Amino acid sequence: MSKNLSDLSFRKGIFGSLFEKMGQSAEETGTPTANDLQALADEFLIGTANTYGAVSFYDFMKEENKGKKVYVCNGSACLCAGTQDTLKDQLKSHFKEDEIGHMTCLGRCHENGAFHYQGNNYSAKEPDAIDEILNERQPANDSYSVLSNTELLTAKIGDVETYYKAYRDFIHSNQKESVLEEIKKSGLRGRGGAGFPMGLKLNICRDVESDLKFIICNADEGDPGAYSDRYLLEEKTHAVLQGMMVSGILCGAQWGILYIRAEYPDSVTKVQAAIEELREAELIGGDILGSGVNFDFKIIKAQGAYICGEETALINSIEGQRPEVRTRPPYPTVEGLFNKPTVVNNVETLASVPFILKNGGSAYNAIGTEKSSGTKLLSLDSYFNNPGIVEVEMGTPLEVVIHDLGGGFRTDVKAMQIGGPLGGIVPVHKISELNVDFESFGQNGFLLGHASIVCIPEAYPMINYLEHLFDFAQYESCGKCFPCRLGTKRGHELLVKSIKEDYKIDRTLFDDLLNTLQEGSLCAHGGGIPLPVKNALHYFKEELAPHFVN
């Protein structure tokens, strides 16, 4: 990573960034032309290798995206639901095969049959729905249940005037440091998967001297099966924005940047509308309410790359660089976006801050467990009788989520992948042994992560699911470190060969491959994929035995 490239990408400021101009140049045909890339290279004083290298990484800007008109969701939940092959066949009667692309995932895991067309997401829940959808070309609102055993994130927000009262008091007070102490006292840990204490991250950034700082909302919720961030962005928008405003001011940031995935077009629209509400209320901008505080927002529309969920790859992406993971140190809190101190938090983490601002850190810390305070959102897929979003207090038995709130399974399920493609594969007999918190999952060899739940039905071959995971991992690898770049590809090749040919995988060789990925990868992408595979090999040993030797 070149610091010079970071500086050069910022030469036009927040509202003229290289990455956004790349996206704009791809809008008409699906990919920028060679002339576009040369012009951008000249404008930002970088090489065409840099512009081409970045553009060629993203699903919605790379050359292969040229001419695509419709995109079929190929996420894990839709795969296990078995809806997408039929959907694609139906779409072929309306589009040429090379006009059909893919997206991962559209956040319609609760109903499946998901596809994207002309800027809108749809679910073809009935075979004859395609014709109606394509003819009407109207946004298709989806609906899902939102259930809770404690309302914190799912609580009603109300009008802006009332909801931002605590923020108005905060911005005029001279006690901002005490609010930071309340966040520390709350024990709030990052909800994106890593579980890092939010207060500590804000504190580190605050103590770094700089003329400019950023806070970034990582809204690139790329875990197939997860749509809790989408729920918050679209239904609890002001909770996310207020969380960014408070957190940004605490660490000295002047800009809040929301990096929202392209697969969530409604999220972009609704967040922008909420920002305009704040502007009209004079709660953002320069010298907010005469307080001397400056803070404003900028939305960045992502272009389709799972690795951008990793904070340093996300920073590279905003800068218009190839979204590869950066080596650390320096950490983003010291040297992040455009070489400035930057705090990156995920949507759910930021949405928890308004509760702490209003009620105090002790009130938040009193919810949940000693080490996992607060609440957690879980995404339930279409195999549940009550698919949708569930909010529970940390430490709640998983049985409560599955059977009481989720209503149990509508058909036979043998396992669940919880926490995204890098999360553990949990056999159903382990449900009674787990609680919804970081420690319970970790101690049992799983990962809570984003807490999405993708059900693997009894009839779905586990070897096929592992092949799907490796296919996802090798496709989405940033390619920077060779254990991940090569290891995920080789793992996928072995599994495909075992499925399609009379070939048995050498178990010792496969274990070595998994250990190399786990120990040698630069980030959690390559390092995390062995976890669900090892879970499957352990809990479904008998089913997988025909595919392995030794």
| pLDDT tens column, 172-230 | 887 888 999 999 999 999 887 677 899 999 999 999 999 999 999 999 988 899 999 99
263 in a structural domain: yes
Q: How far apart are CA 458 and CA 463, in angstroms?
A: 13
Task: Answer yes or no: do 307 and 195 share one domain.
Answer: yes
Q: Which two tokens stand for residue 548?
A: 């392995």
Please compute Rg for the chain using Cα positions.
23
Which secondary-structure segment (H or E) carries 502?
none
Which secondary-structure segment (H or E) carries 425?
strand 424-427
Q: Which regions of 25-173 does DSSP assign to beta strands (E)?
A: 70-73, 100-103, 114-117, 120-123, 145-148
Task: Answer yes or no: do 59 and 74 share one domain.
Answer: no
How many beta carbons lie within 10 A of that of residue 234, not counting itself? 18
151 in a structural domain: no
Residue 276, CA distances (Å) to 98, 243, 292, 298, 416 in order: 39, 17, 21, 11, 40
Single residue among 38, 65, 92 that ends a domain in this structure: 65
Task: Answer yes or no: do 407 and 277 share one domain.
Answer: no
Look up the CATH number of the domain holding residue 282: 3.40.50.11540
Q: Which two tokens stand for residue 309?
A: 């969920």
Task: Answer yes or no: do 235 and 359 share one domain.
Answer: yes
**Which own/partner contact pairs does 130-138 have at CB distance under 8 Å and 24+ positions apart?**
130/87, 130/90, 130/91, 130/94, 134/94
* DSSP 3-state of 296: strand
Specify the pairing of strand 375-380 against strand 255-260.
unpaired
Task: Answer yes or no: do 34 and 103 share one domain.
Answer: no
Angle between helices 237-251 and 265-280 (to 10 degrees): 60
Task: Answer yes or no: do 161 and 281 share one domain.
Answer: yes
In single-letter form, the type of residue at position 505 comes to: I
Model confidence over 344-359: pLDDT tens digits?
A: 999 999 999 999 999 9
Model confidence over 514-547: pLDDT tens digits?
A: 999 999 999 999 999 999 999 999 999 999 999 9
Give the per-residue pLDDT at 247. 97
180 and 199 in contact (C-beta within 8 Å)? yes
Q: Say what the alpha-carbon torsion angle 184, 286, 259, 165 is, to the nearest 10 degrees.
A: 50
Task: Answer yes or no: do 94 and 108 share one domain.
Answer: yes
Cβ contacts of 12 within 8 Å, gap of 6 or more: 18, 43, 44
Look up the CATH number of the domain holding residue 495: 1.20.1440.230
Give the per-residue pLDDT at 137. 67
Higher pLDDT, 15 or 228: 228
pLDDT at residue 55 is higher than 90 = yes
Task: Answer yes or no: do 288 and 429 share one domain.
Answer: no
Task: Answer yes or no: do 379 and 237 share one domain.
Answer: no
468 in a structural domain: yes
Specify the pairing of strand 388-393 against strand 145-148.
parallel
The mean-pLDDT minimum among 41-55, 166-180, 223-237, 286-300 falls in: 166-180
Cβ contacts of 103 within 8 Å, gap of 6 or more: 59, 71, 72, 73, 74, 115, 116, 263, 304
Task: Answer yes or no: do 446 and 473 share one domain.
Answer: no
C-alpha torsion sign, points 396, 442, 470, 263: positive
Q: In angstroms, how far is CA 388 from the centroid of its own chain?
A: 17
16 and 328 in contact (C-beta within 8 Å)? no
* DSSP category for residue 321: S
Residue 137, classified by CB atoms within 10 Å of its CB into exposed (0-12), middle (13-18) or buried (19+), is exposed
Write out the residue range of the structural domain in which residue 469 sits.
462-549
Q: How far apart are CA 286 and CA 254, in angstroms?
A: 9
% of the chain surpassing 90 pLDDT: 88
DSSP string, 454-495: EEEETTS-HHHHHHHHHHHHHHH---SSHHHHHHHHHHHHHH
149 in a structural domain: no
Residue 348, classified by CB atoms within 10 Å of its CB into exposed (0-12), middle (13-18) or buried (19+), is buried
Cβ contacts of 217 within 8 Å, gap of 6 or more: 240, 244, 256, 257, 258, 259, 345, 346, 347, 350
Mean pLDDT, the chain, integer = 94
Give the per-residue pLDDT at 76. 95
How many beta carbons lie within 10 A of that of residue 235, not counting itself? 14
Give the per-residue pLDDT at 127. 67
Task: Answer yes or no: do 407 and 473 share one domain.
Answer: no
Give the per-residue pLDDT at 124. 86
The total of structural domains in the chain comes to: 5
370 in a structural domain: no
Provide the pLDDT confidence category of residue 139 given band limits of 50, 70 and 90. low
Cβ contacts of 301 within 8 Å, gap of 6 or more: 20, 23, 260, 262, 268
488 in a structural domain: yes
Look up the CATH number of the domain holding residue 436: 3.10.20.600
The angle formed by the CA atoms of residues 208, 327 and 246, to the nearest 5 degrees, is 35
pLDDT at residue 105 is higher than 70 = yes
Task: Answer yes or no: do 409 and 312 share one domain.
Answer: no
Single residue among 115, 143, 171 that ends a domain in this structure: 143
Q: Which two tokens stand for residue 346?
A: 């995920």
148 in a structural domain: no
150 in a structural domain: no
Single residue among 436, 455, 474 that ends a domain in this structure: 455
